Amino acid sequence: MLTTTEPPPDEICVGGIWRRGGGAVLSPYDPATGERITTVTGADTTDVDEAAAAAEHAAADPRWRGLLPHERARVLHRIADAVEREAATLAALQTRDTGKTLTETAALVASAVGTFRYTAAALETSDDALTTPRGPHLTMTVQEPYGVVGAITPWNSPIASDAQKLAPALAAGNAVLLKPAAWTPLVALALGRIVTQVLDAAGLPPGLLSVLPGDGRTVGDAVVRDPRVGMVSFTGGTDTGRGIAAIAAQKLMPVSLELGGKSPTIVFPDADLEHTVAGVLYGIFSSSGQSCVAGSRVFVAREIYDEVLDALDSATRALRVGPGTDPRTQVAPLVHHRHRDAVAAMVEQARADGARVVCGGRVPNDPDLAGGAYYLPTILDGLGPDAAICRQEVFGPVAVVLPFDGEDDLVAQANSTVYGLAAGIWTADHRRAWRVARRVLAGTVWINTYKQFSIATPFGGMGESGLGTEKGRPGIRTYSRTRSVFWGMAEEPLAWAGWSGGGR
């Protein structure tokens, strides 16, 4: 088990065996300081091939294939217990690897534990269905695993997104090839070590889990293309997801895609200002804006526009920017200097397009933060909904505030991007909240709150924010196929044109 926050050895997991990968060397570093944490030799396509072969064997092995749902649930509970025992270490490791605050990484580890527990409970209480017969037979539908599932995750919330795929995929009886992002491989590897130890201790076949960090275009692509992989669950950018869907179409393979967003947060004149300001800021600046559901477009009713903008401005200036290890920090560094520079470039483009920088819009001056990938929480206004920064995902701490005049104008502006992941509505009028919630295109709508999640509540995007569902009971179904069985109960042979039995 993990006992220190020291980086793990240079090993990846290929077919249940921990060893050095054959691919490019990854250099995860602490974005708060720029210091390298360790090096990890990533996977190559030969490793993927070996992992897929082992996964195919493991998925078909009677020791796994033959487990009843409540027995698989017991394995998931043991994983949850083991992750929980290592919670502090995992949170500290993730803070080093991603820069996130310790408060957030502790919450992400707790979310991973909750995911394994919830999935175990859902599995143990799931029912195969005996459907109503429409003839002289019993009809039943059963859920069966795909066999080998590819799980590809991004860098922004590693342990939670890894668990969100791993738990239901194992629950459904699959073997998993987990491909974490190249910038942040450490937590997926640490989680993988815990999971493989539990699987080994339970006497289950090796190869049920491989952890294959590396470049997406080689390692991720090999996972998607491998003929033994029967389903891929992907979380990441929309363009990457589109490419994966194209390969899946050739293979006629199901995919689940959790993609990008440009989510609107909507403030009506009757909103409670204190709750609204706290919620809007949390929605965009927590995780330094590196969240698929970040409320990056803030629509404010014109009659309260100046008042709300002033309140957002002064509250944003009061946010504490610093390292994730400082318990007072609210806005931690971005994941990587390259990503910070991309965010800065998008703000510069917005400025050139006519944006007014209300606050932020630059790297902090504080010499203590000089080595880190910091960017100040930024508010822009003065742009229309068609400006590039109102349509493209920034994935950083940048909010654009826009006025609206009435519900129809609001809905037209809110729905003017290709995305449909999330939306927030701030109002005291529950009828209006319900009306607007149904008109705004978003897989998840928060009313008088923002960025709240529950493993029990299904999550998925509309439009170019993705397809398929994660979380909740439907999220477990994502990892299995439905099969039907007819059991003949007729006393007589089937009546068949021109032949009615006879002979024997």
How far apart are alpha carbons 449 and 280 in whole angstroms? 9
Of 256, 335, 289, give the one whose Cα is nearest residue 97: 335
Cβ neighbors of 465 (< 8 A, separation 6 or more) are 238, 258, 259, 260, 261, 292, 419, 420, 421, 443
Task: Give CA separation, 319 vs 80, 278, 322, 391, 454, in Å.
Answer: 34, 11, 10, 26, 26
| 292 part of the active site | yes
- Give SS3 for 246: helix
Choice between 34 and 237, CB closer to ligand NAD: 237
* DSSP at 184: -
Roughly what angle, to the nearest 10 degrees, separates helices 158-171 and 69-85?
160
Choice between 207 and 461, CB closer to ligand NAD: 461
Instruction: Count CA atoms closer than 13 A to 26's CA, side-chain side.
Output: 29
Of 81, 252, 66, give the one whose Cα is nearest residue 173: 66
Catalytic-labelled residue, pool 56, 86, 258, 393: 258
Please report, as ranges, the residues that interact with ligand NAD according to CB under 6 A.
Answer: 152-156, 179-182, 216-217, 220-221, 224, 235-237, 240, 243-244, 258-261, 292, 393, 395, 421, 461, 466
Choice between 180 and 333, CB closer to ligand NAD: 180
Report, in Å, the least distance between residue 398 CB and ligand NAD: 14
Map tokens 């910038």 to a residue.
183
- Give SS3 for 418: coil
* Strands ordered across the beta sheet of 137-145: 129-131, 137-145, 480-488
Choice between 271 and 414, CB closer to ligand NAD: 414
Catalytic-labelled residue, pool 13, 292, 390, 464: 292
How far apart are alpha carbons 480 and 314 in whole angstroms? 49
Choice between 315 and 332, CB closer to ligand NAD: 332
Report, in Å, the least distance between residue 423 CB and ligand NAD: 14
How far apart are alpha carbons 185 and 13 in whole angstroms? 12
Report, in Å, the least distance between residue 386 CB and ligand NAD: 21
Choice between 173 and 466, CB closer to ligand NAD: 466
Report, in Å, the least distance between residue 16 CB and ligand NAD: 21
Report, in Å, the least distance between residue 344 CB and ligand NAD: 16
Report, in Å, the least distance between residue 258 CB and ligand NAD: 3
Task: Give CA separation, 493 vs 132, 156, 458, in Å.
Answer: 22, 61, 46
Tally Cβ neighbours within 10 Å of residue 76: 26
Choice between 65 and 337, CB closer to ligand NAD: 337
| 35 part of the active site | no
How far apart are alpha carbons 128 and 173 in whole angstroms? 15
Report, in Å, the least distance between residue 186 CB and ligand NAD: 14
How far apart are alpha carbons 426 and 433 in whole angstroms? 8
Active site residues: 258, 292
